[in-house]
Amino acid sequence: CALLGSFGMGMLFDSNQIPTDLMANGPYTAFAMLGSYYHVGNIFVILYAIANALASISALAFSIDAPLKMLLSDADPHFIPKKLSHLNKKGTPINGYWLTGILVSLLIIVPALGIGNMNELYKWLLNLNSVVMPLRYLWVFLAYYLLNKHLEKFQAEYMFVKNKHVGMIIGGWCFLFTALACLLGMLPKINYLNDPGTWWFQMGLNIITPVIFLALGLILPFIARRDEARLL
């Protein structure tokens, strides 16, 4: 569906005159053009807006709400602070939602102060997502590499590859390729000569943001263990 949509937008827009807000409003502009072509006004835009809103709500439920509940409800108190996994009367990890809300707010407000342009902010957030999301898989590939390195210590019914060295090569290659892609993705997608200040600002945010998330993941177990020590 996404491939067909991208192909369709490629047919609608002139590659030599791409709108500056294409990433943010491209689908709406495309459906507006279709509505004008078929003489139905903005009916396609309205239908797409409704469908997009429902899809966004579903994405919030599947990508944030459900994983957060699963993570905090089954959290090991040795790694997740007890206050963070606290449930309210409805069984909702309210403190986890507060933490998510604060992080998301900071992630939007702080860059907006430096970027100042909504279209550029949207594009930066989209590009940042393409960097941060794959970074988490580095831990998966690292774990796979280390498991293969000590394969004789583990027994499993299913094995992707049974050869220890082949498994290490696959895990190492995936790790290095993903790390390289993420590092290259940190480069801002704007022209440095046109606006060096914004370029460096985005570059700094692209580096600092993953570091902050990593630091948060390291700090939470420390807080959890400190809380456990107080209870003893």
Note whether 223 and 81 are within 8 A (CB): yes
Give the pLDDT mean for 57-67: 76
Give tens-digit pLDDT for 79-97: 788 777 777 787 777 888 8
- For residue 14, is pLDDT > 80? no
Give tens-digit pLDDT for 117-164: 777 788 888 888 888 888 888 988 998 888 888 877 777 777 777 788
The CB density around residue 13, as the number of other CB atoms within 10 Å, is: 16
Tokens of 59: 């994405």
Name the phi and psi angles at 77, rounded to 5: -60, -10
Q: Which residue has the tokens 């050869």?
A: 163
Give tens-digit pLDDT for 45-54: 999 999 989 9
Give the pLDDT mean for 172-199: 87
Q: Which residue has the tokens 């957030």?
A: 125
- For residue 71, is pLDDT > 80? no
Side-chain half-sphere CA neighbours of 39 within 13 A:
0
Band the pLDDT of 165: cuts 50, 70, 90: confident
Q: For residue 186, how far is the Cα from the chain centroid?
A: 13
- For residue 184, is pLDDT > 80? yes
pTM, two decimal places: 0.70
3-state secondary structure of 23: helix
pLDDT of residue 173: 93
Q: Quote the mean pLDDT of the chain.
A: 82
Note whether 53 and 29 are within 8 A (CB): no
pLDDT of residue 1: 65
